[in-house]
Amino acid sequence: MKSHVKVLLALATFALTPVAMAANFPQPTGQYEGTTSGSFTFCFNSSFQEVACGTAGEIVVPSTLLNVGYETFDKQGNICAVSTGTISDLPVNASPPQVLKNVITVSKVTDYDPSTGAGDATVANYVVGDCHGATFDNPTGATPISTGAYHFVVSQQGKRIDEALTQLTDPVGGVGDFSISAVLFSQ
């Protein structure tokens, strides 16, 4: 029995050493396809104009989001994505969803740890412009419709990226609570 305990302790010690834990997950580069989904709230006044959440008399409209698209990552941590999706109010009812075509999402990796494959990035969403690889082309100088940040983890030898939105706002401040995530696969 004592020899089994010694073997288990030796294996556990080996498994926890830095050599055994060392991994190498290079920062993603190339093209990925993915799906983003989740829920969030919009805040409106009684005339259904968007207002900052927390405004007296606000009407809170819970909504759901589903987007599909592709993203291109470069070696400098620039990311440009094009997606199409829908936003529906909750509970789902007879009214049609808002369809958003060719939404441009521009991100920049702010930190990344190749030993864990985890990192963080800023994000801005636009309804104009185009992606040329990981470079955003914004010929009209448009401002983003929303901004935020997300945390991501690279897995499956760089073939998969999971993302969780950690910050989200729009120019009015009319976005409240949210829970939005994405899964990307290397093409």
Looking up residue 91, the CATH number of its domain turns out to be 2.40.160.20
Name the pLDDT band for 1 (thresholds 50, 70, 90).
Answer: very low
Q: What pLDDT does 23 receive? A: 62
Q: Using CA atoms, how far apart are residues 154 and 163, in angstroms rounded to an integer?
A: 9
What percentage of the chain reaches a pLDDT higher than 70?
88
Outline where 31-113 has alpha helix (H).
none
Q: Using CA atoms, how far apart are residues 150 and 115, in angstroms rounded to an integer?
A: 19
**Arithmetic mean of pLDDT, 43-60:** 94
160 within some domain: yes
Q: What's the number of domains the chain is made of?
A: 1
Helix (H) or strand (E) holding 19: helix 18-21
Question: pTM for the whole thing?
Answer: 0.83
**Arithmetic mean of pLDDT, 75-96:** 93
| Total residue length of the chain | 187
Give the structural domain span for 29.
24-186
117 within some domain: yes
Q: What pLDDT does 14 receive? A: 41
64 within some domain: yes
In degrees and rounded to multiples of 5, residue 56 shows phi and psi of -55, 135
Q: 6-10, 101-105, 159-163, 164-168: which range is least confident on average?
A: 6-10
127 within some domain: yes
Query: How far is residue 15 from each of residues 9, 21, 49, 54, measured CA to CA in Å?
Result: 10, 7, 57, 50
16 within some domain: no
94 within some domain: yes
1 within some domain: no
Q: What pLDDT does 2 receive? A: 46
Q: What pLDDT does 17 receive? A: 39
3 within some domain: no
Q: What is the pLDDT of residues 17-32, one digit of tens each?
A: 344 444 688 999 999 9
Average pLDDT over the chain, rounded to an integer: 88
